[in-house]
């Protein structure tokens, strides 16, 4: 009946992807995964197939009735998505579930408590816009100014810990009951003197070692060689941001893994270390220019030469490593390729270290999954080659650089072959 009946046999059909409204970021799940949709208001369960994934929505196919509402979908034992469906289009068996949130079990309770708190908070809060909404004879300019001031206050309310001082010639006068951590004094003196010399405010972040806290420090020059200093404790904010980034990383990791059938794995530093620890390094090649690529290919041939690998399979693995190594020259500054062999696990691991700026989380799906020959010497095409020709691709990216691990399973460890 509908195009989606052809899925997954017809790779050219993109009906399910366009329905997600996520542009190029949507990916087909091939083969489709069996899932269950739990209707959150009735508790009834619907069997379905997960056929398309994007950051904002899932595409599911079900022959059962699926009334509009909120559903919970379990993708893994500890990884669930809550989403909502809208009225089914034209009686199609294909259904788009808009992702509302992604949950891991231990988080569910925390999230519920937080939500209740926010709900309560919102109903008791005075919106700055409401104050100025009252028609009065205030001029537009004045209204704008009041709104700006209220907005500032609103921000200040969110900050738990703000310390203010008046500074004069190295003497601090606190505006409130707190003190300045001694370890900060030399730095704050330096900033205050510079602000006075330049006659302009300066902002800097300082670590108060004595308190083990991080402060956002604002220094404003005042008349008579004095300064106003505001120190905002941002330690918790940084911690929260880090936690959020970790969660986002985990979400990407799971989605990329599902979409690539467990072939693409995102690695944290520790996991990469553990992997390398379990293998023996056989060769290292530093890459600075295009001529070094031939040395990389030669090194892999030498390390794997003793293993019984079909020539085409070996060539294709070398192409995959070569693509990763090429990226270090195109996108990075310099690179390094380490060839490892784990005889215990019967696997060859090639780690390509690219000291470029790294790939940011938001770029990940585009960089790793966009197929084909999209741009000149594109990363997209390179990654497609890596995913096709390596048995597993692992990616570790930070501002320090990108590390790509390419694995090839080997039937027979090199040492055995040499003995015989």
Partner 1 sequence: MDYQVKEAEQQAIVYLEGELDMLVGERLGNLIREVGQRNKAILLDFREVTFVDSSGIGSMFFATKDLLASGKHVEIVNIREEVLDILRVLGFTEALKIRVTPLKG
- Chain positions contacting partner 1, by CB under 8 A: 290-291, 293-294, 297, 311-312, 315-316, 318-319, 322-323, 326, 329-330, 371-373, 376-378, 381-382, 384-385, 388-389
Selection from 278, 286, 283 nearest residue 350 by Cα: 283
- Pick between residue 382 and residue 401 the one whose CB is nearest to partner 1: 382
In contact, 311 and 303? CB cutoff 8 Å: no
Which is closer to partner 1, CB of 95 or CB of 260? 260
The H or E element that residue 126 is part of is none
Provide the minimum distance between the beta carbon of 309 and partner 1 in the complex, in angstroms, as a whole number.
Answer: 13
Give the per-residue SS3 of 193-259.
HHHHHHCCCEEEEEEECCCCEEEEEEEEEECCCEEEEEEEECHHHHHHHHHHHHHHHHHHHHHHHHH
Least Å distance between CB 27 and partner 1?
Answer: 16
Q: How far is the CB of 383 from partner 1 (least distance, A)?
A: 10
Nearest-approach distance from CB 390 to partner 1, in angstroms: 12
CA–CA–CA angle 232, 177, 225 (5° rounding): 70
Q: Which is nearer to partner 1, 135 or 311 (CB)?
A: 311
- Cβ 292 to partner 1 shortest distance, Å: 10
- By CB atoms closer than 10 A (0-12, 13-18, 19+), residue 231 is buried
Cβ pair 352, 404 in contact under 8 A: yes
Q: How near is the Cβ of 256 to partner 1 at its closest, in Å?
A: 19
List all residues 6 or more positions away from 205 whose beta carbon is below 8 Å from its beta carbon. 214, 215, 216, 217, 234
Distance between CA atoms of residues 85 and 256, nearest Å: 23
Whose Cβ is closer to partner 1: residue 44's or residue 308's? 308
Least distance to partner 1 from the beta carbon of 379, Å?
A: 9
235 or 355, CB closer to partner 1? Answer: 355
Shortest approach of partner 1 to residue 299 CB, angstroms?
15
Please, are residues 150 and 131 in contact by the beta-carbon 8 Å criterion? yes
Reduced to 3 states, what is the DSSP secondary structure of residue 165? strand
- 120: Cβ contacts below 8 Å, ≥ 6 apart: none
Cβ distance to partner 1 smaller for residue 104 or 297: 297
Cis peptide before 377 (omega within 30 of 0): no
For residue 74, give the 3-state DSSP assignment. strand
Give the nearer residue to partner 1 in terms of CB position, either 230 or 350.
350
Judged by beta carbon, residue 210 or residue 371, the one nearer partner 1 is 371
């Amino acid at each position: 009946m509908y195009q989606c009946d052809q899925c997954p046999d017809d790779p050219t059909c993109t009906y399910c992807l366009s329905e997600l409204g996520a542009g190029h970021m949507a990916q087909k799940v091939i083969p489709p995964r069996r899932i269950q949709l739990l209707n959150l208001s009735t508790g009834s369960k619907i069997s379905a197939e997960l056929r398309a994934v994007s950051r904002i929505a899932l595409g599911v196919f079900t022959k059962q009735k699926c009334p509009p509402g909120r559903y919970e979908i379990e993708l893994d034992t500890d990884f669930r998505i809550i989403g909502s469906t809208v009225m089914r289009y034209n009686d199609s068996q294909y259904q788009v579930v808009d992702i509302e949130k992604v949950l891991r079990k231990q988080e569910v309770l925390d999230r519920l408590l937080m939500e209740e708190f926010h709900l309560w908070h919102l109903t008791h809060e005075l919106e700055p816009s409401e104050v100025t909404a009252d028609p009065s004879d205030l001029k537009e300019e004045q209204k704008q100014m009041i709104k700006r001031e209220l907005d500032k206050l609103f921000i200040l309310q969110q900050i738990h810990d703000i310390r203010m001082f008046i500074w004069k010639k190295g003497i601090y006068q606190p505006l409130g009951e707190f003190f300045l951590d001694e370890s900060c004094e030399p730095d704050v003196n330096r900033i205050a003197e510079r602000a006075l010399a330049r006659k302009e405010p300066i902002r800097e972040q300082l670590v108060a070692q004595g308190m083990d806290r991080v402060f956002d420090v604002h220094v404003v020059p005042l008349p008579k060689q004095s300064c106003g200093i505001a120190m905002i404790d941002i330690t918790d904010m940084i911690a929260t941001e880090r936690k959020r980034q970790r969660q986002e990383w985990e979400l990407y990791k799971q989605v990329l893994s599902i979409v690539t059938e467990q072939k693409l794995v995102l690695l944290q530093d520790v996991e990469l270390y553990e992997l390398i620890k379990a293998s023996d390094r056989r060769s290292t090649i530093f890459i600075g220019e295009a001529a070094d690529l031939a040395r990389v290919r030669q090194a892999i041939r030498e390390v794997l030469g003793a293993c019984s690998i079909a020539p085409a399979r070996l060539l294709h693995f070398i192409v995959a490593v070569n693509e990763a190594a090429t990226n270090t020259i195109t996108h990075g500054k310099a690179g390094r390729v380490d060839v490892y062999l784990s005889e215990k696990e019967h696997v060859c691991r090639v780690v390509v270290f690219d000291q470029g700026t790294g790939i940011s989380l938001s770029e990940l799906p585009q960089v790793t999954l966009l197929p084909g020959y999209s741009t000149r010497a594109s990363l997209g095409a390179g990654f497609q080659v890596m995913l096709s020709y390596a048995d597993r691709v692992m990616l570790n990216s930070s501002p320090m650089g990108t590390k790509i691990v390419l694995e090839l399973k080997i039937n027979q460890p090199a040492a055995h072959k040499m003995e015989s």
